[in-house]
Amino acid sequence: MPGRIPEALKNVFLQSQTGVDVTQIAAPTDGAGFKVFNNRGLRVHVHRKVAHQQAPKPELMRAPRRSSLENMRSDNMSTMSGLSSSGDSTASLSTMTSTATATNHHIVTQGTKPKKIETGSPQAFLNKELKRRGYNLKSYATLESGYYTHPNEHQLASYGRIVTKAMYQPNNTKALGTLLECGISPNACNKFGESIVHLVCRRGHYDLLTMLMDAGCSIKVSDDYGRTPLHDACWQSKPNFDVIRLIFQTDKHLVRMRDIRGTTPLSYVKEENFIKWNEFLASIMDEFWPRRNPTTDGEQAPPPLTTMRPNSIQLREKDIPLTINQVSMLSAGDMTVEEAQLLAMDDDSTFDSDESETYYDSDDSSFYDSDSDFDEAELEEVCMLAGNFNLKEYCVR
């Protein structure tokens, strides 16, 4: 039975193995060199086989042919020579680079590689960075620390409808400033410990927060659920990073405090804000958490207020020009701001024995002299104001 390969073609192969130049061997006369055989031994012409083959799929990024590269180089050289003849060598170089980039952009990548943005949760990003920089990841329960303090009566009296309404007017700082001047506490809060500082941070009002801080409010506070102002700032749907930076500048340890649910502030960030938060945290890491070496720097100390018991810190505020009852009336809207200002002025004009140069001494008879001369005109004016218009008739009686 004859083999699949013709004898004439087989002789060509055998001669080539002995070192004979293939070009010197006579080609088979029956055209066997231009035929291929499939697995069944059937002869198929080469040109018919190629015509029915499936065309290869185009590659996504195919390099240009050699002729295209040569043409591109020649075009760039002509462009450069033309510009160089005009005397602008810098422009020629930039033009050539831009031309090569536009023509061959899939070969040469211009610019630096963009920095990869973490897409995970901000809490996971912070933990990763803190660990890499030599910090521990321990968190603390807010309600078991000095961050939690029962509100005093001044704070409770200051938390009313008028005050909370002012927290929703970020562009009207004048209203809040007037209330604070009249005696409203900058740490006003309800019976659950939720303060106006919580409200301002929750709504991202930077101007109101700075005004409250200038008036003496404290960021280091917590409500009955263990939530700090940073918890509320992280919960906001549209975060104001100026507010958050101000909180970090006051106390960066708030980021490690857990509420009653065991949740840290960054765990309240909404998923659609993950990338924004991660970018912000990456930009402030060197400022608030510089690298440290636990071996040389020692063990990291806990936040100062976590070493204190609850209710161990009392918030200090300036002197109140109004009574607690008057403060409550003002915050509830039962007293106008003008009336509160008049009462505050009356309180400022009260007699202070420590600051007055002269004071009353009952043993000093020279302080009051009933026989001293008195201006009758002045006395008559005072009596008229009091309703006694006929002073002489009154004196005769």
pLDDT in tens, 3-61: 667 777 777 777 777 766 666 666 666 666 555 545 555 555 544 444 445 555 555 55
From CA 34, how far away is CA 19, in angstroms rounded?
23
pLDDT beyond 60 at 334: yes
Q: Which residue is it, tokens 């209710």? A: 311
From CA 388, how far away is CA 386, in angstroms rounded?
6
Q: Which residue is it, tokens 């295209």? A: 68
Q: Tell me, what's the pLDDT at 318?
A: 75
Residue type, 182: C
Rg, C-alpha atoms of the chain: 45
Q: Tell me, what's the pLDDT at 91?
A: 44
* Closest of 238, 266, 240, 262 to residue 252, by C-alpha: 266
Crossing angle for the helix pair 337-348 and 324-332, nearest 10 degrees? 160
Q: Where in the chain is the domain with CATH 1.25.40.20?
A: 122-151+189-307
* Closest of 163, 176, 156 to residue 333, by C-alpha: 163
* Closest of 272, 273, 212, 195 to residue 241, by C-alpha: 273
Chain centre to alpha carbon of residue 231? 13
Q: Where are the beta strands (DSSP E) in 215-289?
A: 257-258
CA angle 53-58-63, nearest 5°?
Answer: 125
Looking at residues 285-303, what average pLDDT do you find?
94
Q: Output the six-digit token pair for 334.
A: 């039962």
* 217 in Cβ contact with 250 (< 8 Å): no
Most distant CA atoms of the chain, gap in Å: 166
Least confident of 75-79, 113-117, 192-196, 201-205: 75-79
What rounded mean pLDDT belongs to the chain? 76
pLDDT beyond 50 at 95: no
Using 50, 70 and 90 to split pLDDT, how confident is the model at 101? very low
What's the whole-model pTM score?
0.60
The total of other beta-carbon atoms located within 10 Å of residue 280's CB is 16
From CA 211, how far away is CA 82, in angstroms rounded?
65
Q: Which residues contact 110 (CB under 8 A, 6 or more apart)?
A: 97, 101
Q: Output the six-digit token pair for 229.
A: 């102002």
Q: Is 273 helix (H, G, I), strand (E, B) or coil?
A: helix
Q: What are the Cα distances from residue 337, in Å, to 146, 177, 248?
A: 35, 11, 34
396 φ/ψ angles, rounded to the nearest 5 degrees: -60, -40
* 335 in Cβ contact with 326 (< 8 Å): yes
108 φ/ψ angles, rounded to the nearest 5 degrees: -110, 125
From CA 101, how far away is CA 107, in angstroms rounded?
8
Q: What percent of the chain has pLDDT over 70?
A: 60
Q: Output the six-digit token pair for 127.
A: 């933990």
Quick one: 122-151+189-307 is in which CATH superfamily? Answer: Ankyrin repeat-containing domain (1.25.40.20)
From CA 155, how far away is CA 228, in angstroms rounded?
17
Chain centre to alpha carbon of residue 287? 14
The DSSP bridge partners found for residue 141 are: 258
From CA 354, how far away is CA 16, in angstroms rounded?
125
